[in-house]
Every structure is written in C-alpha cells, then in structure tokens.
Chains A and B, each alone.
Chain A
Amino acid sequence: MGKEHNVCIIDDDEAIREALRLLLFADGLNGVAFESAEHFLAEGTETFFDCMLLDIRMPGIDGLELFQEINRQALPYPVIFITGHGDIPLAVSAIKQGAFDFLTKPFEDGELLAKVRHAIAHYAAECEERRRLHQIQARIDACTPREKDVLRLMTRGLTNKSIAETLDISPRTVEIHRAHVMEKMEAESLPALVRMVASAEQG
C-alpha cells in the first residue's frame, strides 16, 4: 500500500467523526479527526495531510469560513466538503472558491472512499508535477547567463549558425555551450528540452 495517507476530518458530530475514521481505516487510510474548526486551527495546521473532509455546517467557525482561512494560510491539500441536502447552494459556492469536491450526507456506498482516493491521487499528481517543475527550474538556474541565452535561442528552433550570429560568438563556442546546456538540463534530445522549458514556462 506504500506510504500511509493522512486524511483530516473536521466535523462537530462525534459519531460521524468516528465512523469516518473507521471507514478510512478499513481502506488503509489514516484519519485524523478534529471536533471544530477552532481545534484544527489550534493543533492541525502544521500537520501534513493528503486530503481534508470538512463539515460545512458547524457551530462557531463554519466549514466555509475555515476553508477561506485554509486558503489564506495557503495550506495546499484538497478539501472535500461534507454537506446536507439543504446545503447545495453552500456547496456550490465552496466549489467556486476552489474546494476539490463535496459529499452529501448520507453518503452513497463507496462514494466517500472513491472521492477521497481521487483527491489523494490528484493531489499526489499535482505535487509530482510541482516537484518536476521545480527541478526543471533548478536546472535552468544552474546554467550560466551565456548558456541561458543559448538555451532560449535553441528552444526557439534556431540553428547553431543563427545562434552564433545572434549572440555574436563563434559557432564552435555555441556548440560547447549547447553541450553544457543539454547536460545540465538532463535532456536526451532537443524536443525533450523544448517540452521541458515550455512546461516550466507555463507552470
């Protein structure tokens, strides 16, 4: 099952907290429960979670308010709201504000685990993508200013000769820079390099 995933549960109803924790446990997930937004803010913001299940209706700070606070603190994990049937407009507004998904009580069989698994996978892919972009950026940063000039022109599809003319250096020097660039960027080919730089620019 690989590494154990932590799922944060915030719900003011004790039975629901426990039942969710057991359900997650039965599926190999580690549920960590908080009885209120206040408790979470006091004790839970430093913990790393893969996903959060958040009750939308709670006394004190409610789910939506906590979600806004989570966004303010830039906590990165996906949030799935737990709503009642009457809370659909609230849930919609939560999704508009960037919540990952929502569940309506009582949950359909398998629905909760499916959504949690989906959120975790999505978040993992997102993290992986972010890590990859960081890596590419780090490789770009490792190039000298001159190598960066060559890299920029290479990804525009210029030949060594044109690059030499543009930068007013000899084609032989361009070739040396080019080799360094390919090495530092760990690129197997020019197309791979172009893809790498393009994704870094988008990210």
Chain B
Amino acid sequence: MDPLDALMKAAVDAIIIIDHAGTVKRFNPAAERMFGYTEAEITGRNVSLLMPDHHREQHDGYIQRYLQTGQAAIIGKGREEMGRRREGDLFPMALSVGRIEGEGTPYFVGIIKDLTDYQAAKAQVRQLEEQLLHADRLVILGELTAGIAHEINQPLTAIAAYADAGRKMVSQTSGAHSDELQTVCARISEQSRRAGEVVQRLRRLVRSGAVAKGRHDLNQIVTNTLLLFEYELKRTNITLEFKPMKSLDPLYVDEIQVQQILVNLVKNSLDALLESGREDGRILIDVSTRGQQVMISVTDNGPGVPEALQARLFDSFFTTKPKGVGLGLSICKNIAGAHGGNLVYRPAENGGSRFILSLPLEMIG
C-alpha cells in the first residue's frame, strides 16, 4: 500500500488535500465521517463547499493572494474555524493548513479536528463557573447583610426601648412640655423601628436566593468540580487525585453549594501549595462513610495551618491571604451546617492541611 494512502486511512483527524485553485484532490475517511461527503463525491469540487457561506466566496481570493504576495493568513499555522457539513449545519473545528511543495503549483493540506464536543464541554464548565460565582456572590451578600442587619438592629432596639422608657417616665410627671416630650419620644421610637424595617426588607430580599436541594451523586459533584481546576493544574506541578467511593447512595444536597465548598477547599490547598513553592505538591480528595455521615476529605502536603490560627479558621473576616476577604471558610461551614453536616480542620499526618466535610447520608422526608 502507498504510505500516503495508509496515512490518510489511519488518521483520526480529517485530512483534505487541495490544489492551488482550491479543488479537492484527496479526502480521507475521517473527513468523510466529519463532513458527510464521500471522497469520490467531493474530489474535483471546490473546498469552499465545506465552509460557511461568508467564507465560501472569499476562499479562492485567499489562496490567490497568498500565492501572489506570500502573505499567509492561515497557512503554516492553525486556527479555529467553522466547518459546514453536508446537511448544511455548521460546527467548530480546529484547522491547520500546510503547504505541500512539489513541481509546478503548490498543493495544500488541511488537517481538521471537530471541536463540537470540546466546546460543549468548555461551555458547560464556563456555565458551572458562572453559577458558582453567582452562588458565591449571593452567599457573601447574604452573609454581609445578615451581619449588618444584626449590628444595626442592636442599637435600634436600644434606641426604641430608651425612647419608650422616656415616654413612660415623662407621662408620669406633669412638668412643662410633658405632652410634647412624650410625642418626641414616640417619634424617636417610631423612626428607629422604621429603620429596623428597612434593614429587614433588605435582608429578606437577599435571602430569596434560597437553597435548592435535590438528589445528587456525590462522586459526580466532585468530578464536575475538579473540572474547574484542570486549567490551573496544567500550569503547575501540582497533582490532584480523587478517590471516589463506589456504590454511594445519592445525597440530598444543594449541588451548587456543595461544589462551592469543594472549590473553596481545593483553591485553598492550591494557594498554599503554590505559595510554599513545593515541587511535588499533591492534593487528595477522598470520600468515605462513617455511620450515617459521608466524609469528604481534602488533604494536601503543603505547610498546613499553624496551630495558633486553627481556632480562628472558620471565623468571618479572618484571613491570611493578602487579598482575602475571610469569608470563604466561614460560609463553607455555614453551608455544611445548613445541610445538617459540618466542616472541620484536622491536620494531616504529613504536616499538610486536611479539611473534612461531613454530610448526612440519608435525609428521608
């Protein structure tokens, strides 16, 4: 067999060879599957058939300009383009074009990967990230508002009670302006309550981003969450390992919120490992059960949390990160609590940090 034929046949990617006029000369089986034309059908026709309309008209021009000026837009490089299947639907593809030198006019070879699945997966991750970001913002906003509502409510309560006490006391005396003073006290009291209501309204508004629990496979939640870190991990030497637990019943949880906890924990580990500059950074996530609880532990081989700071780890507004707000772990603990579970810190044997998230296994009814 001719080696070129063998290569064309074996290639997983679509390979198309055209001449300088854009006429298809070769069209391999992968290309047949991708575009829906057979090699026999398309050989001799213009390759622009495989492009969206707006490219079609210009394609011949591209080749001519290249041949005349030597200025390459795509040849010798690759880029993402849209392809067009026989049925007319467009799909994203990675296209690289090379020039084949020979006698006379050059030929060009295009190698094409279908990006449909890849882009769908990317879009899914992006959507997940957006959801998490949104959930994060909602929770932070909720936490802040609840904190402020409480802090403002305290003095308002005192003001209203002082005013009520004042009014009562004035009503028991018969001095000058007794009536007016009573009215003044009543107004103070009214207005402080009004302020209290404004704070409560704000709080209710923020709270409406409520928990949405459902049945979810925990292993799946973890796997999906780890997708978010793929890119970040590729840039570092840190390895992330997940040991799922077989035959685990679905949990009754808010998927986004559990993901949020995991994202926070993994992100903390990543930050700690990057800061420590370790060459062999490792993050291990494993799932196990203990009684009616499922335990998800996130362990790293970083420097761990200094003992002096461990007690304050989950406090609101406590942070050791230069740009941190100090709400991450406190929110995570709250979420775990809202699920009937908990989040605790247990130093790992190797001196690294270990966070253990526990969630109830069964909440029937």
Q: Residues of A with Cβ closer than 8 Å to B?
A: 13, 15-16, 18-20, 22-23, 25-27, 57, 84-86, 105-110, 112
Contact = CB atoms under 8 A, between A and B. Distances in A.
A84 B155 CA distance: 12
Nearest to B170: A26
B73 interface: no
B145 to A, nearest CB: 10
Nearest to A105: B157
A85 B161 contact: no
A107 B165 contact: no
A114 to B, nearest CB: 12
Contacts of B186: 109
A15 B158 contact: yes
B347 interface: no
B342 interface: no
B165 A15 contact: no
Interface of B: 146, 149-150, 153-162, 164-166, 168-169, 172, 186, 189-190, 192-193, 196, 200, 203
B160 A107 contact: yes
Looking at chain B's contact residues, the main secondary structure is helix
Given A106-B193, A108-B193, A109-B189, A16 B203 contact: no
B153 A22 contact: no
Given A106-B192, A109-B189, A84 B153 contact: yes
Contact of A86 (B160, B165, B189, B203): B203
A107 B160 CA distance: 8
A22 B189 contact: no
B169 A16 contact: no
A22 B203 contact: no
Nearest to A20: B161
A23 B200 contact: no
**6 closest Cβ contacts across the A-B interface?**
A26-B168, A19-B161, A15-B158, A22-B165, A23-B165, A106-B157
B79 to A, nearest CB: 54
| Residue of A15, A84, A106 ringed by the most chain B CB atoms within 10 A | A106
Contacts of B157: 13, 16, 19, 105-107
A88 B308 CA distance: 35
A175 to B, nearest CB: 61
Nearest to B162: A19
A86 B172 CA distance: 36
B117 to A, nearest CB: 46
B149 A23 contact: no
B316 to A, nearest CB: 13
A57 B164 CA distance: 23
Contacts of A86: 146, 149-150, 203
Contacts of B172: 26
- Give the one of B162, B186, B192, B203 with max A CB within 10 A: B162
A18 B157 CA distance: 11
Nearest to B160: A106
A41 B159 CA distance: 28
A22 B162 contact: yes
Contacts of A23: 161-162, 164-165, 168
Contacts of B169: 22, 26
A105 B158 CA distance: 9
B154 A16 contact: yes
Contacts of A27: 168
Contacts of A106: 153, 156-157, 159-161, 192-193, 196
Contact of A85 (B189, B190, B200): B200
B155 A15 contact: yes
B200 to A, nearest CB: 5
A107 B162 CA distance: 12
Contacts of B165: 19, 22-23, 25-26
Given A16-B158, A106-B196, A107-B157, A85 B164 contact: no
A16 B165 CA distance: 12
B161 A107 contact: yes
Contacts of A13: 154, 157-158
A105 B154 contact: yes
B153 to A, nearest CB: 5
Given A85-B149, A109-B164, 9 more contacts: A15-B154, A16-B154, A19-B159, A22-B169, A84-B153, A85-B203, A105-B196, A106-B156, A106-B157
